[in-house]
Structure 1
Amino acid sequence: MPHDIDFAQLVSNVGDAVVVSDEEGAIVVWNAAAERIFGFTQAEALGRSLDLITPDRHRQRHWDGYLKTMQTGVTRYGSDVLRVPALHKDGRALSIAFTVGLLFNADHKVTGITAVIRDETDRWNEERQMRRRLRELESETNSVGH
């Protein structure tokens, strides 16, 4: 594997959103896929809080976990895929799936969090419709049988 990989180019061209936030939760990396998924341009997102894409009702829990991770240097999520609601620039609710990774300085202090994010809104809506249809069919079957 060559050692001259252009990591800025890699992040910029990858199909999933790459969002990196600093110790305070300000966005410091926002790639083209993040623009596509969330609707905010890089200029609109950089320097802004992650509240930009976090629904109001989830913000307290998000920040509690974020600050604890910054203090301890440990995330309880590891390589787990997290599925949470998010916000699009136009106000639409999104369903996203993502993994997180911690960034450390030479003193092993956390300096930021990287999230690699995929929009799963369509899949989530399809699954919700299938569950609803299944409940309807089960209901019909139960009423016919009685």
Structure 2
Amino acid sequence: MHSDVDLAQLVAGAGDAIMVADAQGAITLWNQAAERIFGFTEAEALGKSLDLIIPERQRGRHWDGFQKTMDTGITKYGADLLRVPALHKDGHTLSIAFTVSMLFSEDRKVTGIVAMVRDETARFAEERKLRARLVEVEAKIQEGDSR
């Protein structure tokens, strides 16, 4: 079945960041939502390593997982969300959630990976506040029970 969907418009207009990296981890596609979320323009991101948005303390773990995924062509994050910290251009940390999709050549060699990324920084902060409030309320309840 042939679709008349203009894929360039779909990628450009997506509310979530859509990024593609080649098998070596160099960024080859960076949509407008990626610009908005991470602060880097397309020109600043294209050809650069994914280290651009990975906090330094996370890089070893990221590249170990990335290499395993490139070697096997298998990812568990095709349907399961991966939640990790990321870096904005101005240096502040973001909380992101994303899924990935593998890209293959006709002979089934891995050529790259696509990530669909959502900024969950505000939601994560709100959850942290709610958890702290819950601990506070539970402590008051226990305090009342011990009287």
Query: Structure 1-normalised TM-score?
Result: 0.95
Within a 5 Å distance, the mapping from 1:1-146 to structure 2 comes to: 3-146=3-146
Q: Report deviation, 1:80.
A: 0.8
**Structure 2 counterpart of 1:72, which letter?**
T
Report the secondary structure of 1:61's partner residue: helix
- Structure 1 residue runs of 4+, over 6 Å off? none
Q: Report deviation, 1:66.
A: 0.6
Tell me which moved more, 67-76 or 18-27: 67-76
Q: Report deviation, 1:74.
A: 1.2
Query: Structure 2-normalised TM-score?
Result: 0.94
Q: Deviations over 1:89-119 (max 9, x none)?
A: 1111111111100000011001000000111
Percent identical among aligned pairs is 63
Separation in 2, partners of 1:91, 1:128? 21
**Structure 2 counterpart of 1:96, which letter?**
I
Q: Deviations over 1:58-86 (max 9, x none)?
A: 11111001111111111133311111111
Separation in 1, partners of 2:63, 2:5? 34
Separation in 2, partners of 1:120, 1:98? 10
Gaps of 5+ in 1: none
Separation in 2, partners of 1:105, 1:132? 48
